Amino acid sequence: MDAAEDGMWWFRAAHARVLDALRTRPGAAGPVLDAGCGTGGFLLRLAQQLPERPAFGLEYMADAARRAVQKSGRPVTAGDANALPFPDASFGAAVSIDVICHAGVDPARGMAELHRVLRPGGTVVLNLPAYEWLRSAHDARVHTARRYTAGSARALLEQAGFTGISTRYWNGLLLPLMALQRKVLQAREDAPSDVTHFPPWIDKTLHAVSEIERRIGGAGIPMPGGGSVLVIGTRP
């Protein structure tokens, strides 16, 4: 992951959408929390593109947390998303990219904790894998326990007390290719994760398609479906 998130098209596409969400809905005054920051890829892009916004990371694996500090230059705490080691109302915004879906996270507890550490008016941005029918060996490799629809993602935030909720599918143009890859070409149980290095021309092509879709979304045209769902809410 440390190597892949710096260049692989999917990480760049996901990070761009989360950054777009923070620009549109920056939340309350205060730092951004990246809950489940891994090896720091998003924290690095946040530092590069929104340098005026302080940020902190939280990561369960201590080795990954140390690497995230090295990579991003932002402080990172080793800890559990089910019990965030921060005082109430510490952050103006919180992001979590494919973490609430993880087998090690209780979604109700994780969302309650994000609600607790946000200041009133704070923004939460989640990226979640979409559709249970898309479950494959990739999910087993990355410990994905739950996949969501736009409706179930909205309900997740509503139950945690968030308001002003918006949802959007993305990676819709590439969804047929994802389904072919996961359900046909790599349908066996021992298939590897999709997180890997692609030949440069494939990576550039996939990212270019993702950017076309991002522009379509920026023009106000939503995707009817996609491989991921982005959900944004406000802590009242």
- pLDDT tens for residues 175-225? 999 999 888 877 788 787 777 778 999 999 999 999 999 999 999 999 999
Which residues in 23-42 are b (16+ Cβ under 10 Å) and which e?
A: eebbbbebebbbbbbbbbbb
Least confident of 23-27, 133-137, 181-185, 192-196: 192-196
Task: State the pLDDT confidence band at 163, using cuts at 50, 70 and 90.
Answer: very high
In this structure, the chain runs to a length of 236
Tell me the C-alpha to C-alpha distance, in Å, between residue 192 and each of 138, 142, 171, 187: 6, 10, 20, 10
**Among residues 212, 221, 184, which one has the least CA distance to residue 9?**
212
Q: Is residue 123 predicted with pLDDT exceeding 80?
A: yes
pTM exceeds 0.85 for this model: yes
Residue 77, pLDDT score: 97
Residue 229, pLDDT score: 98
Residue 193, pLDDT score: 78
Residue 95, pLDDT score: 98
For the chain, the average pLDDT equals: 95
Q: What percent of the chain has pLDDT over 70?
A: 100
Residue 161, pLDDT score: 98
Task: State the pLDDT confidence band at 94, using cuts at 50, 70 and 90.
Answer: very high
Scanning 58-129, the segments in alpha helix (DSSP H) are 62-72, 107-117
Sheet containing strand 91-97, strands side by side: 76-78, 55-59, 32-35, 91-97, 118-129, 228-234, 163-170
Q: Is residue 109 predicted with pLDDT exceeding 90?
A: yes
Q: What is the pLDDT of residues 35-87, one digit of tens each?
A: 999 999 999 999 999 999 999 999 999 999 999 999 999 999 999 999 999 99
Q: Is residue 115 predicted with pLDDT exceeding 80?
A: yes
- Distance, CA of 161 to chain centre: 20
Distance CA 5, CA 196 (A): 9
Domains of the chain, CATH where assigned = 4-234 (3.40.50.150)
Task: State the pLDDT confidence band at 22, using cuts at 50, 70 and 90.
Answer: very high
Over residues 160-189, mean pLDDT = 92
Please tell me which residue, 78 or 7, carries the higher pLDDT value.
78
Residue 185, pLDDT score: 77
